[in-house]
C-alpha cells in the first residue's frame, strides 16, 4: 500500500516558513546596516581618553624608573652589608681558632706544672715519699 502525499503539504510548509520568518524579517536589514558614524562629542571624548592614557603611561614610567634606581641603591647596600658580614664572620672564626690555641697552651702548661710539682715533691721528700707514693712501706 503506497501512501499518497497531500498536495497541500508544500503550501503548509511555505506558510509556516513565512510565519516564523516574518518575525525575523525586519531584524535582518537592521543587523546588516552600517553603524552610524561617531559624533563630534564621541571624537572629543576619545581624544580625552587618549590624553589621559598617555599621562598615566608617563606617570607609571617615571615611577618604574624611580623604583629601579631605588632597587639599585638597595642592591648595592645589600652587597656591602654581605661583604661586611663575611669579614666579621671570618674575624670571629680566626678569634675562635686563636682562643682554642691559647686554651690548649694553657692546659698543656698547667699539666706541665702539675708534673713538675710532683717531681719537685719527689725530689724534696727523698726515697721514703717515693716508696709511700708507690704503696711500699704501708702498715696494715
Whole-prediction pTM? 0.42
pLDDT at 131: 56
With a CB cutoff of 8 Å and minimum separation 6, the contacts of 38 are 46
- Model pLDDT for residues 26-73, shown as the tens digit of each residue: 555 555 667 788 888 888 888 888 899 999 999 999 999 999 999 999
- 95 phi, psi to nearest 5 deg: -65, -40
Longest CA span, the chain: 153
Mean pLDDT, the chain, rounded, equals 78
Give residue 106's pLDDT band: very low, low, confident or very high (50, 70, 90): confident
**Residue 137 and residue 128 in contact, taking contact as beta carbons nearer than 8 Å:** yes
Q: What is the DSSP letter of 75?
A: H
- 46 phi, psi to nearest 5 deg: -65, -40
pLDDT at 126: 61
Give the chain's length. Answer: 140
- Model pLDDT for residues 20-33, shown as the tens digit of each residue: 655 555 555 555 66
Amino acid at each position: 500500500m503506497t501512501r499518497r502525499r497531500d498536495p497541500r503539504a508544500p503550501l503548509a510548509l511555505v506558510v509556516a516558513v513565512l510565519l516564523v520568518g516574518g518575525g525575523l524579517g525586519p531584524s535582518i536589514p537592521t543587523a546588516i546596516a552600517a553603524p552610524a558614524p561617531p559624533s563630534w562629542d564621541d571624537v572629543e571624548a576619545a581624544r580625552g581618553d587618549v590624553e589621559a592614557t598617555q599621562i598615566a603611561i608617563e606617570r607609571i614610567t617615571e615611577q618604574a624608573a624611580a623604583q629601579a634606581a631605588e632597587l639599585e641603591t638597595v642592591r648595592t647596600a645589600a652587597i656591602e652589608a654581605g661583604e661586611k658580614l663575611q669579614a666579621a664572620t671570618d674575624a670571629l672564626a680566626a678569634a675562635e681558632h686563636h682562643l682554642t690555641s691559647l686554651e690548649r697552651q694553657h692546659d698543656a702548661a698547667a699539666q706541665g706544672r702539675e708534673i713538675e710539682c710532683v717531681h719537685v715533691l719527689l725530689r724534696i721528700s727523698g726515697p721514703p715519699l717515693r716508696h709511700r707514693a708507690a704503696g711500699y712501706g704501708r702498715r696494715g
